[in-house]
Amino acid sequence: MVVKTVQPNRILPFSYKMLFAGGMIISLVFTMQAIIPYLYGGILEKFSWLFEGLPIITRYFLWVALIPLIFRCSHHLSWQNNLSLMRNLTHVFWGLLLGAIHSFVSYWIFIGIYLIFEDMDVSKAMSHILGSIYAGSVGSFVELWVILGLFNAINYYQKFQQQGITMANQEKELANAKLTAFRMQLHPHFLFNALNSVMSLIDVNKLKAKDMLVELSILMRRLLEQDDRHTVTVKDELSFIQSYLELERLRFEDRLMITYKIENEHYSALVPNLILQPIIENAIKHGFSQSTESCEITLEIKSQLGELVIIIEDNGIENPFIPRLPNSGGVGLKNVYQRLEQMFGDDFSCSAYAVKPKGFGVQLIFPLIRSNFS
């Protein structure tokens, strides 16, 4: 069974203008090299542009003309580790043949142009012409392998770039999957707590429990509408928080109060989706669910040194337990920490502390990024 290797369509990595410019530069460099001995010897007038400069130009501009063909057939000309010795020797033979053809054609193009301007007995000069062609064949073969080496270097660089892009995309997809998993972890947690709140009211006030279910359905619909977004503006996040607080107010009535300290310029800042709700829910659940006192929560958002600072404090219990995130703490606070870590790496802070004279506080700090569409 014969397996055929299908070569992909290859696109020349540079334009024909760049090829022409490269041929011009190389021709000038080697022409200047030929001029230097005449220049240092003080006999520059003896340098023949037609006889010594023209062969250089025809030689390298013929390479320019052949490069597209060489690029497309480079897999038949270069040494490849995955091929047998005989196959690689065949490639070397084709390279030698192309070098000989290049030397032959370029030199006869030079002779043809030279004869337009000067007289020359070609038959008498034939031995010199053939010697120049044979000598030029070795140079052409070396130049061909330099060109093939350049193509291989470009090919490896392109593969390296593509691997980098692929790895970056894979890492991005993995990060998105982790963020989605962390966010989805909150949904059953939030729903469980909300349904518990409804159940606690069913025997006490059925009408209020019904209203809570209506508010809960509205809230869940909002969750689903922005479920595919990892970040939202502060304005959108606060809108969701206000809907959530409407649900909780049905339980706590006038006992639940929240104070916002947010400057207008920070409403366009981007924050992780659903980052505030677990913290506020934690304040209500652990600070006031077993208390008859008023529930006062302060939400402050400010910026400092290019970072967004979010502070949430309540006036709940005295000497609250202060978790050392992420090793301890409830599902909500651990989730907040993990999502910030996934999004910002080491460039964030998430800390809990006690509020004097009583209460619990959480401070989040991460890079300030503003939405372009707000």
pLDDT of residue 138 exceeding 90? no
Which strands, in side-by-side order, build the sheet including 295-304? 256-262, 295-304, 307-314, 360-367, 349-354
Task: Give the pair of three-digit tokens for residue 353.
Answer: 């502390």
For the chain, list the domains and their CATH numbers: 16-167 (no CATH), 205-367 (3.30.565.10)
Alpha-carbon distance of 236 to 226, in angstroms, equals 10
What's residue 233's pLDDT?
92
Residue 6's pLDDT band, with cuts at 50, 70 and 90, is very low
- Summarised one tens digit per residue, pLDDT across range 172-211 is 665 555 555 545 554 555 666 667 777 777 777 777 777 7
Alpha-carbon distance of 259 to 314, in angstroms, equals 10
What's residue 366's pLDDT?
95
DSSP secondary structure of 150-194: HHHHHHHHHHHHHHHHHHHHHHHHHHHHHHHHHHHHHHHHHHHHH
DSSP class of residue 370 equals B
What is the rounded average pLDDT of the residues 16-35?
85
What's residue 174's pLDDT?
58
What is the rounded average pLDDT of the residues 147-171?
79
Alpha-carbon distance of 128 to 49, in angstroms, equals 19
Residue with tokens 């200047």: 32
19, 252, 291 from 284: Cα distances, Å: 71, 10, 10
Query: Which of 68 and 331 is assigned the larger pLDDT?
Result: 68
pLDDT of residue 2 exceeding 70? no
Cβ 31 vs Cβ 56: under 8 Å: yes
What proportion of the chain, given as a percentage, has pLDDT over 90? 12
What pTM did the predictor assign? Answer: 0.52
What's residue 173's pLDDT?
61
| Closest by Cα among 279, 229, 239 to 262 | 239
